[in-house]
Amino acid sequence: MFLHGTARINDKGHLEIGGCDTVDLAREFGTPLYIVDEALVRQRAREFREAFERTGLRFQVAYASKAFCVMAMCRLAEEEGLSLDVVSGGELHTALKAGFPPERIHFHGNNKTPDEIAMALDAEIGCFVVDNFVELMLLDAMAAERGRRVNMLLRVTPGVEAHTHDFIATGKQDSKFGFDLESGAAHEAVRQALERGHLELIGVHSHIGSQIFEVEGFRMAAEKIMNFAVDVREKWGRTFSVLNFGGGFGIRYVEGDRPLPPGTYVQAIADAVITACKASGYPLPEVWIEPGRSIVGDAGTTLYTVGTYKEISGIRKYVAVDGGMTDNPRPALYGAKYEAVLANRANEPASETVSVAGKCCESGDMLIWDLPLPPVKPGDLLAVFCTGAYNYAMASNYNRIPRPAVVFVRDGAADLVVARETYDDIVSLDRIPERMRKQAVNR
């Protein structure tokens, strides 16, 4: 069994995280419950920052809040000296409500609405990552209305795509995001940005993929971006002061996943930028990155209560838990794999293989196939590891199942950072038209 961060088995044979016995957490907060190991999140944030400090470059590590965006997480990001990448009005609102410094917020997205742009302009965020020509014009016009000049990066598609171990130089133009480098769209965007009176083009952004275990894709992207920067300087006389390489740094979900330490990715990017700058006499830019999953992913654990089971002789034993694709859609969406243990009997040897089903009315609602466990009984607690990223963030109310609570644990204390949804929360936005109201009330 692989235990992340502060997780350990205590002398009762229970899984403990952040010094909190998970059996006690289940009793106090109910299940399903997302548990976040606060020390591990802070450690990951520091690993990225310290790696940059070693390179001597100026930098920003912007937490990609899409991975897990709640107010307490924004506070934590601020405390750890991170910047914040937001991609919607909702994420921006969360950050601002949490008191996150607006000048450290970067706004992404391929279809920022005028309302969202207005919100971000009025909050005076640090930087817009402009994705397309429509946005370029709109942002300029809206900044002009406010008599302002706003910092922007251009999002470019560098023609490198990376997924786990595969990275390919695609010269890929077919993406919904950003300006293509190959076709000349990126140069045209630079021309337009420089022409506009209210945009301050400070640099470029690229993001090559997710759950990447190799540095090669980042190195290739850095080279392409540096070539572009050098061309832009020659052609348009503009020197970029910021290069942003996005996120995508991999984490260990299951046995066999071999992520690199955060510092290795950072060093590879820094080396590629520094080498290219030396070769072309380009002034060293600030380097920004946007890790999401690698900040919060392995710090999250979801605790479920086992309910029913069903054995199909000679075929499979299904064990059902009190959550599923509503709190973790990743297995159903991406075929994502997870590891899990019985939190209340974590020392017992595995003696059967079960498949963990969610409670949604959908056959595809399976969390883990073929998981070795001790004999499972109703009432046992199942802890699924590495659910910190893109779980709560992607949770739904399918089947009108309330979303779980989230707790931060550290040093033996647990703090509720998101309350469990209630059934009344679920109906709170419903409206019954007047003409139907009587029937409903009479029932």
- Chain contacts with ligand LLP (rule: CB under 6 A): 64, 67, 85, 108, 207, 210, 246-249, 290-294, 330, 334, 389-390
**Which residue, 189 or 320, has its beta carbon nearer to ligand LLP?**
189
**Which residue, 221 or 354, has its beta carbon nearer to ligand LLP?**
221
Rounded least distance, CB 293 to ligand LLP, Å = 4
Neighbours of 376 (CB within 10 A): 18
**Which residue, 133 or 334, has its beta carbon nearer to ligand LLP?**
334
Rounded least distance, CB 250 to ligand LLP, Å = 8
Rounded least distance, CB 378 to ligand LLP, Å = 30
* 275 neighbors 227 (Cβ within 8 angstroms): no
* 367 neighbors 331 (Cβ within 8 angstroms): yes
Rounded least distance, CB 290 to ligand LLP, Å = 4
* Alpha-carbon torsion, ordered 188, 192, 195, 199, to 10 deg: -130
**Which residue, 306 or 366, has its beta carbon nearer to ligand LLP?**
366
Closest Cα partner for 410 from 299, 327, 305, 303?
299
DSSP-derived letter for residue 29 is H
Q: Is 171 exposed, middle or buried (0-12, 13-18, 19+ CB in 10 A)?
A: middle
Rounded least distance, CB 300 to ligand LLP, Å = 12
Q: Could you give the residue ranges of the DSSP H alpha helices within 124-178?
A: 133-145
Q: Is the peptide bond before 32 cis (omega within 30 degrees of 0)?
A: yes
Number of H helices, E strands in the chain: 13, 24
Give the integer Cα–Cα distance in Å for 155 and 178.
Answer: 5
**Which residue, 4 or 293, has its beta carbon nearer to ligand LLP?**
293
**Which residue, 210 or 301, has its beta carbon nearer to ligand LLP?**
210
Rounded least distance, CB 235 to ligand LLP, Å = 26
Rounded least distance, CB 232 to ligand LLP, Å = 21
Give the integer Cα–Cα distance in Å for 288 and 25.
Answer: 37
Residue 303 pairs in a beta bridge with 33, 383
Q: Is 361 tagged catalytic?
A: yes
Could you say which of 20, 74, 277, 361 is catalytic? 361
- Spell out the residues 6+ positions from residue 443 whose beta carbon is closer than 8 angstroms to its own: none
- Placement of tokens 């930098």 in the chain: 59
* 290 neighbors 82 (Cβ within 8 angstroms): no
Give the integer Cα–Cα distance in Å for 229 and 179.
Answer: 14
Closest Cα partner for 153 from 171, 118, 177?
177
**Which residue, 9 or 394, has its beta carbon nearer to ligand LLP?**
394
Q: Which residues are catalytic?
A: 361
